[in-house]
């Protein structure tokens, strides 16, 4: 019997989950999202919407009453409320998994306990503790807020002891941790899926290029050695085995100068670095997530066509939709998220540049450079 799917979060990830769900009519009859933004991206492609804060207990309860199965596209959901609702409504990934992942310290402690490689870290509760840790670990290190941080906004790099006060002031009142600064060679990620029956599937490792802490571009598959590829995919598989959650997870990693792979962090949801799968793979990460939480067999995750994903970021503050002018080509797939408000650096769309003719990654990178030169992002005329 087909189910009503509830999604906490109706941004671009909720939108692409909605679109994937609409192609699974036998399994999913209706999609309802909970999101505070009126006319959120998911609602614009046909999801029903409950307009409320992601953590609003009554709204989450209402969503659970209306849904047969709940999932989420943000990690800042209210895991305590979800835990209470778990008896009556299926929730995947489970609230227990969410609770561990949404707190960076619990996440790192969990990974360490399971012998998964990560950077050295510590809990910090006072300036004295921070001073002691700096003496022990050395500098530079990153002071991180444990919860609700994204796009690097909860991180402060401490290079000198004289910066301690500024760093602590910035995050005053927040639960904190510190982490040794990793002089990484590359940032990579693996999108991994585990279905409710315990079947695990990983997508090939991809390479992520960030600018100002925001993902700019994903190169799929990543340009890494065979050794790094194997390490990354094995780490992802092991993480999925110990985490027990069902669904798609984005596992971000560092590759060190010695070709060692460390986990940076796990997202308990579909991930920006998996958007390439919409064109590069037979099964997109969005379809895979739905297959995983519905207990279906997982789809093929191999890359058919190498692809580069390029994020379109909002150029400024603007009430209204943007649209993009670019040199059109058959192998370029533009996806705009229909956001009705833009802020500088906000993700408003992405492009997948697909190598169907086996031209090679260097040629794709040239095409991206060309595309960037001619890309115009301007307010959409209504
Ligand atoms: P996060 O929000 O913690 O994933 O961090 C955002 C970005 O900060 C990452 O993509 C890295 O570029 C950088 N970063 C985070 N943790 C570390 C670390 N321990 N060492 C070096 N860079 C880091």
Long-range residue pairs from 219-226, CB within 8 A, at least 24 positions apart, any chain: 219/308, 219/361, 219/365, 220/276, 220/277, 220/280, 220/303, 220/306, 220/307, 220/308, 220/309, 221/303, 221/306, 222/186, 222/188, 223/361, 224/186, 224/188, 224/255, 225/259
Atom of ligand 1 nearest to the CA of 144: 3
Pairing assessment for the beta strands 69-72 and 3-8 based on DSSP bridges: parallel
Residue 57 has pLDDT above 80, yes or no: yes
Long-range residue pairs from 83-86, CB within 8 A, at least 24 positions apart, any chain: 85/60, 85/61
Please tell me the number of Cα atoms within 13 Å of 84 on its side-chain side. 8
Strand partners, 142: 157, 179
Rounded to the nearest angstrom, the distance between the alpha carbon of 127 and the centre of ligand 1 is: 22
266 close to ligand 1 (CB < 6 Angstrom):
no
Q: How far apart are CA 80 and CA 65, in angstroms?
A: 17
Strand partners, 261: 255
Atom of ligand 1 nearest to the CA of 208: 10
pLDDT on residue 316? 80
Query: Per residue in 180-213, pLDDT tens?
Result: 999 999 999 999 999 999 999 999 999 999 998 8
pLDDT on residue 313? 94
Atom of ligand 1 nearest to the CA of 183: 21
Tell me if 285 sits within 8 A of 274, measured CB to CB: yes
Residue 151 has pLDDT above 80, yes or no: no
Residue 382 has pLDDT above 70, yes or no: no
Q: What angle do CA 222, 226, 359 make, to 5 degrees?
A: 45
Backbone torsions φ then ψ of 187, nearest 5 degrees: -110, 130
Lowest mean pLDDT among 47-56, 154-163, 371-380: 371-380
210 close to ligand 1 (CB < 6 Angstrom):
yes
120 close to ligand 1 (CB < 6 Angstrom):
no
pLDDT on residue 150? 72
Query: Per residue in 251-308, pLDDT tens?
Result: 999 999 999 999 999 999 999 999 999 999 999 999 999 999 999 999 999 999 999 9
Closest residue by CA, ligand 1 atom 3: 152
Lowest mean pLDDT among 189-203, 315-329, 362-376: 315-329
Q: How far apart are CA 28 and CA 69, in angstroms?
A: 10
pLDDT on residue 320? 85
Query: Per residue in 81-133, pLDDT tens?
Result: 999 999 999 999 999 999 999 999 999 999 999 999 999 999 999 999 999 99
Q: What is the mean pLDDT of residues 336-360?
A: 93
Instruction: Tell me the pLDDT of the chain averaged across its residues.
Output: 95
User: pTM of this prediction?
Assistant: 0.96
Q: How far apart are CA 224 and CA 215, in angstroms?
A: 18
Pairing assessment for the beta strands 155-158 and 141-145 based on DSSP bridges: antiparallel
Tell me if 79 sits within 8 A of 99, measured CB to CB: yes
């Amino acid at each position: 019997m087909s189910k009503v799917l509830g999604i906490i979060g109706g941004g671009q990830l909720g939108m692409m989950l909605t679109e994937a769900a609409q192609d699974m009519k036998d399994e999913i009859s209706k999609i309802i999202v909970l999101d505070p933004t009126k006319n959120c991206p998911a609602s614009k492609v046909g999801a029903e919407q409950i307009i409320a804060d992601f953590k609003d207990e009554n709204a989450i309860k209402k969503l659970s009453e209306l849904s047969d199965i709940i999932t989420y596209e943000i990690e800042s959901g209210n895991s305590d409320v979800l835990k209470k609702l778990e008896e009556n409504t299926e929730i995947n990934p489970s609230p227990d998994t969410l609770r561990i992942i949404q707190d960076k310290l619990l996440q790192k402690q969990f990974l360490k306990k399971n012998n998964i490689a990560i950077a050295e870290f510590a809990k910090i509760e006072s300036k004295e503790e921070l001073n002691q840790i700096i003496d022990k670990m050395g500098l530079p290190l990153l002071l991180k807020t444990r919860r609700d941080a994204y796009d690097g906004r909860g991180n402060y790099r401490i290079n000198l002891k004289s910066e301690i006060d500024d760093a602590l002031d910035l995050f005053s009142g927040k639960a904190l941790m510190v982490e040794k600064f990793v002089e990484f060679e590359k940032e990579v990620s693996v999108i991994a899926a585990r279905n409710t029956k315990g079947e695990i599937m990983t997508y090939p490792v991809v390479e992520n290029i960030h600018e100002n802490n925001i993902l700019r571009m994903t190169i799929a598959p990543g340009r890494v050695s065979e050794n790094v590829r194997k390490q990354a995919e094995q780490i992802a598989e092991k993480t999925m085995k110990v985490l027990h959650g069902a669904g798609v997870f984005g596992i971000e990693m560092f590759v060190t100068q010695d070709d060692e792979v460390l986990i940076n962090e796990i997202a308990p949801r579909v991930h920006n670095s998996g958007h390439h799968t919409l064109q590069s793979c037979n099964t997109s990460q969005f379809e895979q997530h739905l297959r995983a939480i519905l207990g279906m067999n997982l789809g093929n995750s191999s890359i058919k066509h190498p692809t580069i994903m390029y994020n379109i970021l909002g150029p400024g503050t603007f009430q209204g939709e943007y649209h993009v002018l670019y040199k059109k080509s058959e192998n370029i797939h533009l996806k705009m998220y229909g956001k009705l408000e833009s802020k500088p650096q906000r993700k408003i769309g992405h492009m997948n540049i697909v190598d169907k003719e086996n031209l090679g990654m260097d040629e794709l990178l040239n095409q991206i450079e060309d595309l960037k030169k001619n890309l115009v992002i301007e307010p959409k005329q209504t």
